[in-house]
Amino acid sequence: MTRAAAVRWTRIALVAGCVLLLEAVCRLHMINPLTLIPPSAMAIAMVRMIASGEMIGDIAHTFSAVAIAAVASVIAGFALGTAIHGVPRVRRAIAPLLASYYAVPVFVFYPLLVALFGLTMLPLIAIAFIAAVPAMVIATLTGLDRVPRVLRKVARVHRMGALRTALLVVLPAALPSLCNGIKLCLAYAFIGVIAGEFILSSGGLGYGIAYAYESFENRPMYGRMLFVLLVAIVVNGLLQVWEVRLNRRRGQA
Amino acid sequence: MPRDHPIQPMIHATMRGVTRVYQAGKPLHALGPIDLDIARGEFFAVVGPSGCGKSTLLDVLAGLNAPTEGSISFEDKPVAGQVPDGVGVVFQEDASFPWLTVRDNVAFGLRRAGMDAAEIARRVEYAVGFMGLRDFATAYPAQLSGGMRQRVCIARTLVLQPRLILLDEPFGALDQQTRLLMGDELLRLWRETGATVLLITHALDEAAMLSDRVGVMSARPGCFIDLVETHWPRDRDSRIVSDEAFGHVTARLWSTLRGESMKAIGRAS
């Protein structure tokens, strides 16, 4: 077995061990069932809710908000990052703000966004966008900084115009950093939407979790929580596979 | 590889009164004045102390950098604003595209030029084979050694059939043995293509071994202070380093360069 495979199996065994331990602790009533239900019961509740179609509305609400916020933040972050990179003076002025951005709890603006846009999907998209966009700006700046100057020179030797240089040289060279930015955007968008729904919303998985919590309905609550967790892990895993492949090809794995 | 261009006059590239002054902050006179004629099919090397403007000279001749004063022409046409058609450049740094395979790296310029697929495949196969990369055609640069990556960059230049090849310390990062062998490859390429070559190097032995003429530059601002003709036969290779005349050439280069190198490191000769 290779070292990488051994690490992977150790990781899987660790997670499986934790799940089994939690199952045993819950089954042996060492934890009050009103507080925590066994993972198997969570899984059954999740499958039942999916099969009955009970969660479809919430899933559509949450994931459409996440998708819109993530795509918008990736596009806007990339455009902003490219524009800032092109004007060093502006960059010098903005860099400290970007560096300290995540010290600001952006969720304090959520009530304001609800007041502005009403109890629709818009404040959720807005808060997720606000949380995600700086990650993409920073990733774009890092990516563009890392494009070796010599590659731009090669483009000039091949008499390529600005657009062709950007598409065929700069963008592929910056892709590992951009990929990291996309991953972060998706994570922040997911957190932003779920947390926003949890605080105040008319629907969505976060709203469903909060509603079930307040109604002491443990099975629907944990079923939804497990679903959110699994989706986050799968999406992040897929992006991780893409990133590893990209980096391995470039000898950066 | 058959060449597609018509016969040109003897003088291939010319620099007249070329200077380069960088204006960022305090003006820095980096180069010149330079007057130089490079003959068609000549192998010309440039040596000089660190920071004397060798790379600036190459950038200006390639059209990558505009001269502050003076004029440059290639095949009797002025070089201005962009790299002229027929000029290929190989840089010191690894300039291979890490996201492309060796074959795609080599085909890069041909695809940009809109050439048909069959001709691209023919030229790429030739260049990949010529540079000894056939077994690595589907490999990515990260899977290759530094010397092989530099060969990929040379192959990428070669497929475009440049009439003037500019090399900016292409073997600077390689060990001595690999450099000698790469020098042989370069001489073979030069003989087979008939291209004019300008090589920037800091290695006197490399310049002496490869070139018909070596231009020795002064400390900054770099000007030519000596032009040494080697009189080597055209079918030479790295074994010429054991020739008695090779010692004389390198000795002359060093005797001219020593004082300039001392100046470059801030000590009088």
The stretch B87-104 carries a mean pLDDT of: 94
Say if residues B160 and B112 touch (Cβ distance below 8 Å): no
Count of helix runs (H) and strand runs (E) in chain B: 7, 10
**B114-139 pLDDT, tens per residue?**
889 999 999 999 999 888 899 999 99
Looking at residue B3, what is its pLDDT? 44
Interface touch B99/A148, C-beta < 8 Å: no
- Strand B11-22 vs strand B28-39: parallel, antiparallel, or unpaired? antiparallel
pLDDT of residue A163: 93
Task: Give the residue-averaged pLDDT of B36-51.
Answer: 93
Any CB–CB contact under 8 A between B162 and chain A? Answer: no
Distance CA B5, CA A251 (A): 39
Give B32's pLDDT tier (boundaries 50, 70, 90): confident
Segments of chain A scoring below 70 in pLDDT: 252-253
Residue from A146, A156, A158 whose CB has the most chain B CBs within 10 Å, to mutate: A158
Question: Is pLDDT at B208 greater than 90 in this prediction?
Answer: yes
A176: distance to nearest CA of chain B, Å?
10
- Considering only CB atoms, A250 lies closest to which of B62, B99, B109, namely B99
> What is residue B238's predicted lDDT score, i.e. its pLDDT?
86
Average pLDDT in chain B: 89
A140 CB contacts (<8 Å, ≥6 apart)? A77, A78, A80, A81, A82, A85, A174, A177, A178, A181
CATH of the domain at A57: 1.10.3720.10
- Residue B8 — pLDDT band, cuts 50, 70, 90? very low
Domain boundaries, chain B: 1-86+164-244+253-269, 94-160
Is residue A19 domain-resident? Answer: no
∠ Cα B60 B61 B62 (to 5°): 90
- For the stretch A154-202, pLDDT in tens is 999 999 999 999 999 999 999 999 999 999 999 999 999 999 998 888 8
By the 8 A CB rule, do A183 and A243 touch?
yes
pLDDT of B132 reads 86
ipTM reported for the complex, 2 dp:
0.86
On whether residue A108 sits in a domain, the answer given is yes
Q: What percent of chain A has pLDDT over 90?
A: 75
Query: Does A17 map to a domain?
Result: no
Bridge partner residues of B14 (DSSP): B37, B73
- B88 to chain A, any CB pair closer than 8 A? The answer is yes
Is omega for the bond preceding B33 within 30 degrees of 0, making it cis?
A: yes
Q: How far apart are alpha carbons B124 and A46 in whole angstroms?
A: 56
Q: Which CATH class is domain B1-86+164-244+253-269?
A: alpha beta
Q: Can you name the residues that pair with B229 across neighbouring β-strands?
A: B213
Q: How many domains does chain A have?
A: 1
pLDDT category of residue B209 using cuts at 50, 70 and 90: very high
Residue A31, domain member (yes or no): no
Residue A187 lies inside a defined structural domain of this protein? yes
Whether a cis peptide bond, with omega within 30° of 0, leads into B221 is yes
- Give the model's pLDDT for residue B260: 80
The answer to whether residue A11 is domain-embedded is: no
Residue A43: inside a domain: no
Q: Which of B83, B108, B142 sits opposite A249 (nearest CB)?
A: B142
Q: Say if CB B96 and CB B155 are below 8 A apart.
A: no
* Distance in angstroms (rounded) separating the CA atoms of residues A148 and A199: 45
Which residues does chain A have within 8 Å of residue B143's beta carbon, measured at their own beta carbons? 251
**With contacts defined as CB-CB under 8 Å, which chain A residues touch B99?**
172-173, 175, 249-250
Residue-range definition of the domain harbouring residue A173: 53-249
